[in-house]
Amino acid sequence: MAVITKIFQVTAGTLSLPGRSVPFWGFSDFFWGSPQYPGPVVEATAGDQLIVWLIRNFSQPVGEPLSIVFPGQENVMVRKVPSGPFIYEPVQPQYSSGKMISLANFLDEQNDFIIDYSFFANKPGIYLYESGTNSEKQIQMGLYGVIIVRPEGYSTPGHPSYKTAYGAGTGSDYDVEKVLVLSEIDSIMHENVLPGVYYDMLKFNPDFWVINGRSFPDSISEDNTSGQPYGSKIDCQVGQRVLLRTINAGFQNHTFHLGGFTGRIVAEDSFPLRARELDATYEKTGFTLGSGQSVDIIFTPTTPGEYHLYDREYHHLVNNDMFPGGMMTVINISN
């Protein structure tokens, strides 16, 4: 077991979308400073203790209370400086005058320096971390990211769990892994959100659909050091087992089509479907993800070529109402 510590701040930045730029709020690594969309990927091994510090941004505060929730993680503890609690206690919803104001203990940028969340990542899988305060606004503005919890032995050649998503006997062994985080952006909202001001979410009307924070064709550019660092293009060879770890961080449901491939779903919401007593894995040519849900699917290409993976809701395949764009990426298969 290891202790994994991440130190985040929340900072405003600018997203680059096809044909325009829009403001966003992103988690940034405290030591590197640039906000990311989605936030930095957090990786751990099952059994590790994860400690996440959210530090007050003295120079560029976004002007709202801030918190993080960790769906799928149990027994999340919190402490805070200087207003306390000083000793870890369970995370609790927060109320003011009898009204809930946050799903979790939060960092008050006027009074607090650090809020510290801690939990043990006991179960392999792919999970979101996201804002728990004004979530309808802050998550849409970009305050979310992904935690990948790997099984013990996943990086040790010869170990039964080597290169598996969920451990030995789960049918989740793979050669190529790609994480795809789905979401959508309402550019008008992004341009008009003000700190501390209520935004009428009934006006939510996304006009960009993204994978890993990028719309097609930007989605297939390589990883880089920008505020949208994660590409989604997949490169593999014929016969390799390709693991797609797809999670929906957005507010809309998405039906993701595999571009002609048939894959086997090996886990849903980070629950593996195969165990010693039962194999409940099943084949699909696409899958629908509700908000916050995830799927791990494996397929084995047999023919070289270029194939497109995309959201079957075709009106999500546009940028500025022009095809092609939106929630689409490419898999390149070589011999």
Question: Encoding tokens for residue 235?
Answer: 């490169």
Question: Encoding tokens for residue 233?
Answer: 């293009």
The mean of the pLDDT values for the chain is 95
Q: What is the DSSP letter of 189?
A: H
Bridge partners (DSSP) of residue 110 are none
Please give the pLDDT value at position 33: 73
pTM, rounded to two decimals:
0.95
pLDDT digits (tens, 9 = 90+) for 286-295: 999 999 999 9
Average pLDDT over residues 284-311: 97
With residue 77 as reference, give the H or E element that holds it: strand 77-81
pLDDT digits (tens, 9 = 90+) for 269-283: 999 999 988 999 999
Please tell me the chain's helix, strand, coil percentages from 3-state DSSP, rounded to the nearest 5.
Answer: 5, 45, 50
Distance CA 113, CA 205 (A): 35
Distance CA 238, CA 229 (A): 27
Phi/psi of residue 141, nearest 5 degrees: -75, -10
Q: What is the DSSP letter of 202?
A: G
- Give 295-311 as a DSSP string: EEEEE---S-EEEEEEE
List, in order, residues 6 or more apart from 315 with CB less than 8 Å away: none
